[in-house]
């Protein structure tokens, strides 16, 4: 990992873990429709106390996701053999969804290999569909 990237990850992590009581006024230009949607969601759906609180929560979530991805990218760059393949991801997706094929990981691995050979950039959900289709009578 680039030293500046590591330092940035550490500093962002520190900032996200710090006391959020201190605030600052900002001048952000956002699309009017997005602003209005956030205000409506806060007021009518009660998703947050205000549009500002909703925006802040969304920004925090986005930054946390960026940090997690940066740490994973660094881990996979250092230990490339630990990166899950399409079969691993399909098995995890099946387990998370409670899909019956979660009990047959080898079938999902075969389906992942078949699909990867036929289609560029398949997703784990595509593997589940492929495995289901291959198990239908006449397939």
- In 3-state terms, the chain is what percent helix, strand and coil (to 5)? 75, 0, 25
Q: Are 104 and 73 in contact (CB under 8 A)?
A: no
pLDDT of residue 26: 87
What's this model's pTM, rounded to 2 decimal places?
0.69
Write down the pLDDT at residue 4. 84
Per-residue model confidence as pLDDT tens for the chain (139 residues):
556 888 899 999 999 999 888 988 888 899 999 999 999 999 999 999 999 999 999 999 999 999 999 999 989 999 999 999 999 999 999 999 999 999 999 999 999 999 999 999 999 999 999 999 988 776 6
Please give the pLDDT value at position 5.
Answer: 83
* Residue 117 · residue 130 · CB < 8 Å: no
Q: How many CA atoms lie within 13 A of 75 on its CB side?
A: 9
pLDDT of residue 139: 60
């Amino acid at each position: 990992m680039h030293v500046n990237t590591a330092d940035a990850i550490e500093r962002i992590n520190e900032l996200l873990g710090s006391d959020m009581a201190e605030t600052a006024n900002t001048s952000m230009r956002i699309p009017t429709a997005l602003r209005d949607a956030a205000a409506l969601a806060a007021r009518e759906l009660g998703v947050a106390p205000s549009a500002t609180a909703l925006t802040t929560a969304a920004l925090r979530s986005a930054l946390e996701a960026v940090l997690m991805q940066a740490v994973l990218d660094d881990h996979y760059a250092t230990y490339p053999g630990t990166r899950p393949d399409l079969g691993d991801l399909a098995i995890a997706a099946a387990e998370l969804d409670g899909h019956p094929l979660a009990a047959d990981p080898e079938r999902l691995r075969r389906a992942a290999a078949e699909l990867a050979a036929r289609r560029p950039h398949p997703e784990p959900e595509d593997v589940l569909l492929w495995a289901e289709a291959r198990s239908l009578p006449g397939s």
